Amino acid sequence: MIKPRHTALVRFTHWITVVSFAALLVTGLELVVSHPRFYWGETGNVNIHPAFTLPLPTSRGTVDNGYGSNMPDQNGWSRALHFQAAWLLVLTGAVYLVAGILSGHFRRNLVPLPGQRTARACLHRIAQYLRRAPADPAESSSYNVLQRWAYLAVIFVLFPLVLWTGLALSPVFEGAFPAAVMLLGGRQSARTLHFFLTWALVAFLAVHLVMIAVHGFWRLTRAMLTGRAATPPALPENQP
């Protein structure tokens, strides 16, 4: 049986987000390699003691990180592509957000149902995963409680914070909205927070991919490409 799974808009914004996020990760890594030292406060340079340093060879000779050689400096193109990919992601997210509100997508598919709004419901779903309980056929066209809370956290908490901390790195943004940067503790604090928030998104992505693999990689990928997916057969109650 084939059931509707994703609208065209959800599929389109999903794949644009995938491309944008991949570009941001690659270029972000290049930017970190150019200066793998992180600070807290407004300023940070080689003359200031960092909050922490990543054990990476740098791409700039002025940043001594204990290695005898430096990696090729890719700071120019990576910085430009990083900002382009970021704005593409912001615009895509804005389209998804507006459409999700107007179409009722968030209300129907992401807002937890009355029985799913407790920690007990989340723990119960985790226990089902651990004992490999039979899949609920209703989840073939909707999301379970863990997915709903995770997607809401990513859409309305993590991504806005990543955007805020990213904008705070811009001198133009700081000049126009100094209070927004001060609330983060300064530009270097924003960079440090931006780094950790990015890894939170990477952790979400890793779990997301594992769950896709567990529940049928090609079936769910096809659903995100075509909008439809076959309902997975229910397992017998006594099958592990």
Segment 142-160 shows an average pLDDT of: 88
The predicted pLDDT at position 136 comes to 56
Residue 68 pLDDT greater than 70, yes or no: no
Per-residue pLDDT reduced to its tens digit, 86-145: 999 999 999 999 999 998 888 888 888 777 777 777 777 777 766 665 555 555 556 778
Cβ proximity of 58 and 67 under 8 Å? yes
The predicted pLDDT at position 1 comes to 44
217 or 195, higher pLDDT: 195
The predicted pLDDT at position 205 comes to 94
The predicted pLDDT at position 92 comes to 96
Residue 237 pLDDT greater than 70, yes or no: no
Percentage of the chain modeled with pLDDT above 90: 42
Torsion, Cα 160 166 171 177, to 10 degrees, reads 10
Segment 15-34 shows an average pLDDT of: 93
Segment 197-201 shows an average pLDDT of: 96
Q: Which domains does the chain have, with CATH numbers?
A: 2-62+75-134+141-230 (1.20.950.20)
- Rounded CA gap, 232 and 134, in Å? 10
Is this model's pTM higher than 0.85 or not? Answer: no
Segment 211-216 shows an average pLDDT of: 82
The predicted pLDDT at position 146 comes to 82
Residue 188 neighbours by CB distance under 10 Å: 23
Close Cβ partners of 230 (under 8 Å, ≥ 6 residues apart): 1, 2, 140, 219
130 or 52, higher pLDDT: 52
Angle of helix 119-130 versus helix 145-153 axis, rounded to 10: 120
